[in-house]
């Protein structure tokens, strides 16, 4: 495992700590070590050849956010009497996010939200609220949730953590979208919520949310739109005239939305928002212990202590950009995605998966797509690998909008396909990591792959053995 996945690459250059040192090190020495690692790791994305991950890629913006974070990093959002700025930052982040999702279209209820630690945090909080609502209001002992296969694995995590039954629906292999009729068939008296994506992680495609909302509204169940990926990009694409179907609170049946401020909101990791049509549903996440010896305890969410720095930097990102700034960046991203799509379409051996928006996913019926990945990786590209079918995707971010990146992508892609043709019949290096087994996964294969993933997680939490 260590040969394939070196999760501790600095062990030959810097000391490996196997316990708390008796004496501290000089701060200048520590600063130099940190600067070395940060500078080297930034090179992985500065060229614009990395899918997703670094959504902003603007060091000046990062410096600005770091300054905002640093001024409030030591403050705790629990102590609002000492840190009232947390209330301002959090309230205004949510007000701006609700405005972006057209909460002004909501009548009869009061929209509200939570700021969370990331997309998974937003998804978990939404599903917790639906579980509690189903139990306390509808009397359902074990609620169920329904998601398309393409929806994020965090929904499976929520089902695992909160004791929900998870029902997974297939998607159309051509459109990559779920069928609203299949959603209707899957709903029963235990259903707390249905999930749809705007857009989903594998392909960036947007589920037929308006049609699904008609089904869920008629059946009296919630509809959560996962906009963690596209929530802070798609609205500005719509403002620019791109064909973005409605997915927010303008759609009457949408009851909650997750949208990550640390992706296309260009905030620091990790911050996200989860928004609710009805404050009463949001309040299902509230937790109270009025009779504790340490005082009356209450919390709006699963998190306890939080750094006000993340609230400050997220607020600063949104306020400094404004709608005009977000629109400008969105226009460049959509244009870059279209050019990358055209480069794929111009390569006869490749075909697109779904209809690209800002994520371009492609596969091949002619060559092993992981051979293509091997060759592109050797040229400095970092794609995300998909499976069922084996495919690659590039989530377009601001680094791809730099001059020369699209031309470099097109040229490298042609050479990568030629490499794949030349290596037909040979195993691809990246297949075991990104792929999976064609045609589905057996139980034995699932156990083996889970064991490999467990070893990877163990390695990430441990220092290497002494040499």
Q: What is the CATH number of the domain that holds 358?
A: 3.90.1150.10
Task: For residue 126, give the nearest of 240, 263, 242, 273 by alpha carbon.
Answer: 273
Domain assignment present for residue 42? The answer is no
DSSP 321-340: HHHHHHHHHHHHHHHHHHHH
Q: What is the pLDDT of residue 436?
A: 40
The predicted pLDDT at position 439 comes to 39
Distance (Å, whole) CA 3 – CA 26: 33
For 99, list phi and psi in degrees, rounded to 5: -60, -45
The first and second tokens of residue 174, run together, are: 């051509």
End-to-end CA distance of the chain: 16
2 part of a folded domain: no
177 and 298 part of one domain? yes
Q: Say if residue 310 is in the same domain as residue 327.
A: no
Q: What is the pLDDT of residues 178-200, one digit of tens each?
A: 999 999 999 999 999 999 999 99
Query: pLDDT tens digits for 102-150?
Result: 999 999 999 999 999 999 999 999 999 999 999 999 999 999 999 999 9
What does the block give as tokens for 320?
């400094």
* pLDDT for the residue numbered 15: 87
- The answer to whether residue 451 sits within a structural domain is no
User: Has residue 358 got a pLDDT over 80?
Assistant: yes
Same structural domain, 288 and 402: no
> Are residues 312 and 391 both part of a single domain?
no
* Continuous segment of H or E residues that includes residue 71: helix 59-72
Same domain, 313 and 327: no
Asked if residue 397 is part of any domain, the answer here is: yes
Last residue of one domain, picked from the residues 317, 348, 377: 317
The CATH number given to whatever domain includes residue 132 is 3.40.640.10
Question: 236 and 140, same structural domain?
Answer: yes
Q: Answer whether 287's CB lies under 8 Å from 132's CB.
A: no
pLDDT, residue 2, reads 37
Structural domain for 178, as ranges: 85-317
pLDDT score recorded for residue 333: 98
pLDDT in tens, 360-394: 999 999 999 999 999 999 999 999 999 999 999 99
- Dump pLDDT digits (tens) for 416-466: 999 999 999 999 988 534 334 333 444 555 666 667 666 666 666 566 667
Number of domains in the chain: 2
Q: Residues 152, 282: one domain? A: yes
Tell which of 317, 341, 358 closes a domain: 317
Beta strands in 138-269, from DSSP E residues, in sequence order? 144-148, 165-169, 191-197, 222-227, 256-259
pLDDT of residue 456: 62
The pLDDT of 66-72, averaged and rounded, is 97
* pLDDT at site 463: 64
Q: Decide if pLDDT at 251 tops 60.
A: yes
Q: How confident is the model at residue 335 (pLDDT cuts 50, 70, 90)?
A: very high
CA atoms of 313 and 320, how far apart (whole Å): 10
Do 393 and 283 lie in a common domain? no
- Rounded mean pLDDT of 200-221? 97
- CA–CA separation, 197 and 178 (whole Å): 10
Alpha helix positions (H), 203-301: 209-219, 234-239, 279-282
Query: How confident is the model at residue 450, as a pLDDT?
Result: 67
DSSP calls for 304-316: -S-BHHHHHHHHH
Confirm whether 461 is domain-assigned: no
Span 392-401, pLDDT tens digits = 999 999 999 9
| Residue 458, in any domain of the structure | no
Computed over every residue of the chain, the mean pLDDT equals 92
| Residue 140 to residue 158: CA distance in whole angstroms | 17
244 assigned to some structural domain: yes
Q: Which of 158-172, 330-344, 362-376, 446-460 has the lowest mean pLDDT?
A: 446-460
Q: Under a CB-based contact definition with an 8 Å cutoff, are residues 175 and 205 in contact? A: yes
């Amino acid at each position: 495992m260590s040969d394939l996945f070196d999760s501790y690459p600095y062990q030959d250059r810097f000391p490996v700590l196997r316990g708390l040192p008796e004496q501290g090190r000089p701060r200048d020495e520590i600063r130099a070590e940190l600067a070395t690692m940060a500078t080297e790791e930034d090179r992985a994305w500065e060229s614009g050849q990395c899918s997703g991950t670094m959504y902003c890629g603007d060091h000046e913006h990062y410096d600005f956010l770091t300054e905002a974070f640093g001024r409030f990093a030591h403050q705790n959002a629990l102590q609002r009497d000492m840190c009232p700025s947390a209330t301002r930052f959090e309230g205004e982040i949510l007000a701006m996010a609700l405005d972006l999702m057209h909460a002004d279209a909501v009548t009869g209820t009061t929209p509200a939200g939570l700021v969370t630690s990331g997309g998974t945090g937003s998804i978990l909080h939404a599903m917790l609220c639906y579980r509690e609502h189903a139990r306390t209001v509808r009397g359902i002992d074990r609620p169920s949730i329904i998601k398309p296969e393409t929806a994020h694995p965090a929904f499976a995590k929520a089902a695992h953590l909160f004791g929900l039954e998870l029902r997974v629906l297939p998607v159309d292999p051509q459109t990559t979208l779920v069928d609203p009729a299949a959603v209707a068939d899957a709903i029963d008296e235990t259903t707390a919520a249905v999930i749809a994506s705007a857009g989903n992680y594998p392909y960036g495609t947007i589920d037929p949310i308006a049609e699904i909302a008609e089904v869920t509204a008629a059946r009296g169940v919630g509809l959560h739109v996962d906009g963690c990926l596209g929530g802070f990009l798609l609205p500005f694409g719509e403002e620019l005239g791109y064909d973005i179907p409605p997915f927010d609170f303008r759609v009457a049946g949408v009851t909650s939305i997750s949208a990550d401020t640390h992706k296309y909101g260009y905030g620091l990791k990790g911050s996200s928002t989860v928004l609710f049509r009805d404050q009463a549903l949001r309040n299902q996440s509230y937790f109270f212990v009025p009779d504790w010896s340490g005082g009356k305890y209450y919390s709006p969410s699963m998190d306890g202590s939080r750094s006000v720095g993340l609230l400050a930097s997220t607020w600063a990102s949104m306020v400094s950009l404004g709608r005009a700034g977000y629109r400008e960046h969105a226009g460049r991203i959509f244009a870059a995605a279209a050019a990358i799509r055209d480069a794929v379409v111009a390569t006869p051996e490749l075909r697109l998966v779904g209809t690209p928006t800002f994520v371009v996913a492609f596969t091949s019926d002619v060559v092993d797509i992981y051979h293509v990945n091997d060759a592109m990786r050797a040229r400095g590209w970092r794609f995300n690998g998909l499976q069922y079918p084996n495919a690659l995707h590039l989530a377009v971010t601001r680094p791809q909008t730099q001059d020369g990146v699209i031309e470099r992508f097109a040229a490298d892609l042609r050479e990568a396909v030629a490499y794949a043709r030349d290596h037909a019949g040979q195993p691809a290096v990246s297949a075991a990591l990104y792929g999976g087994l064609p045609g589905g996964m057996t139980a034995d294969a699932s156990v083996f792959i889970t064991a490999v993933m467990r070893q990877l997680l163990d390695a990430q939490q441990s220092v290497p053995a002494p040499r």
